[in-house]
Amino acid sequence: MSGEGAELERAAAVLAEASEVAIACHVNPDADALGAMLGLAAVLRARGVRVVCAVPNEPRHLPRWAQLLPGADELVRVERFPAAPAVMVTCDCASIDRLAALRPAAERANELIWIDHHRSNDGAGTIRVVDPAASSTCELVVRLADALGAELPTQAAVCLYAGIVTDTGRFQYEATTPETLRIAARLREHPFDHARLAQALYEDRDRAALSLMALALTRLTFEPEADLVWTYLTQADLRKAGVHPAETDELIDLIRTDREADVAAVLKQQWDGRFKVSMRSRGAHDLAAIAARFGGGGHRLAAGYTSAHGPAATIEELVRELRAAPAATASGG
């Protein structure tokens, strides 16, 4: 049995015996993180397990599409999350610091099941269900449910489908395998409105957010020596437009369509003044390795980190790393 398979069986054995499980995902969760957490919660609740789920954001702000994920209304605030869980599961966390305010609970947990698919994973967890070749953390949750011998209730199918659709870029990214498509087909056999879910995920934008993305396009800059196109948004931009940062998450997907550059980057200023750097590559750069040099991580073609510098200095550092980086291979996730 492979290492990941053995850990999957260990995780299933622990969950099969648990009467209560605490589950967390990373700060500012995307659909894969939130979907994996809520999907696993639905699977366990169907087996009679008491489950507590939380997002480590304070104050908590969830995107509008989260309203369509069953269980989102049962999330507890950080202060109500168990301080020292007997069994805790994390979903889609590449590093323990991504748990933010829930990190102490993870460090005190008796058993910590770490479910993730980032290649740059930092090694946390007493049981590590980590597969960088998996399309998404939601795909790993389906594997875990199978190892547990558990049925997938419709509530779980909705959440897990949302995570797989988004983390595969609607099944277009290189990590999408035949197994990914088979799992997605299994989930779609459940009676839920997948078209409405897709619309909420991809076609539900506030007009102010669209205007803000237009502003970002006017700042688009090409760095030919690094094969990089980039733009940025500040907190002042977001405040003036009255837009939450999460409402511009799709900006990177627009910037990456520039056919002249291999790497696209969006710099978005956070509440603390630092800039979150989101990067995508068409295939010629290993972005996970580059992000790791700045304390971040991710996948070969999609990664990110946080910079304490302003846009100009941040891009200067990134350009230097991209120019020095060896060409990426065609494999990886």
CA distance 163 to 312: 34
Contact 210, 235 (CB under 8 A): no
Going by C-alpha positions, the residue among 295, 329, 314 that lies closest to residue 223 is 314
276: phi then psi, degrees, rounded to nearest 5: -80, 125
Give the pLDDT confidence of 147-167 residue by residue, as tens digits: 999 999 999 999 999 999 999
**Token representation of residue 160:** 């897990």
pTM over 0.95: no
Q: Which helix (H) or strand (E) holds 52?
A: strand 50-54
The pLDDT of residue 325 is: 83
**CB environment 305-333: b (16+ within 10 A), e (fewer):** bebeeebeebbeebbeebeebeebeeebb
Is there a shared CATH topology between the 3-202 domain and the 207-324 domain? no
For the domain made up of 207-324, give the CATH fold. Diaminopimelate Epimerase; Chain A, domain 1 (3.10.310)
The set of residues, in sequence order, having a beta carbon less than 8 Å from that of 172 and lying 6+ positions away, is none
| DSSP letter (8 states) at residue 171 | T
The pLDDT of residue 332 is: 38
The pLDDT of residue 328 is: 58
The pLDDT of residue 1 is: 54
CA distance 185 to 39: 16
The pLDDT of residue 314 is: 98
* CATH 3.90.800.10 assigned to 3-202: no
Give the pLDDT confidence of 183-217 residue by residue, as tens digits: 999 999 999 999 999 999 998 888 999 999 999 99
The CA–CA distances, whole Å, from 81 to 55, 104, 128, 224 equal: 10, 11, 22, 48
Task: Supply the DSSP string of 89-142, one letter for each residue.
Answer: EEES-SSGGGGGGGHHHHHH-SEEEEEE--TT----SSEEEE-TTSS-HHHHHH
Per-residue pLDDT of the chain (333 residues; tens, 9 = 90+): 556 789 999 999 999 999 999 999 999 899 999 999 999 999 999 999 999 999 998 767 888 899 999 999 999 999 999 999 999 999 999 899 999 999 999 999 999 999 999 987 877 899 999 999 999 999 999 999 999 999 999 999 999 999 999 999 999 988 999 999 999 999 999 999 999 999 999 988 889 999 999 999 999 999 999 999 999 999 999 999 999 888 898 899 999 999 999 999 999 999 899 999 999 999 999 999 999 999 988 889 999 999 999 999 999 999 999 999 876 544 334
CA distance 124 to 107: 9
Domain ranges of the chain: 3-202, 207-324
The pLDDT of residue 3 is: 65
The CA–CA distances, whole Å, from 189 to 184, 255, 266 equal: 9, 34, 37
CA distance 301 to 280: 5
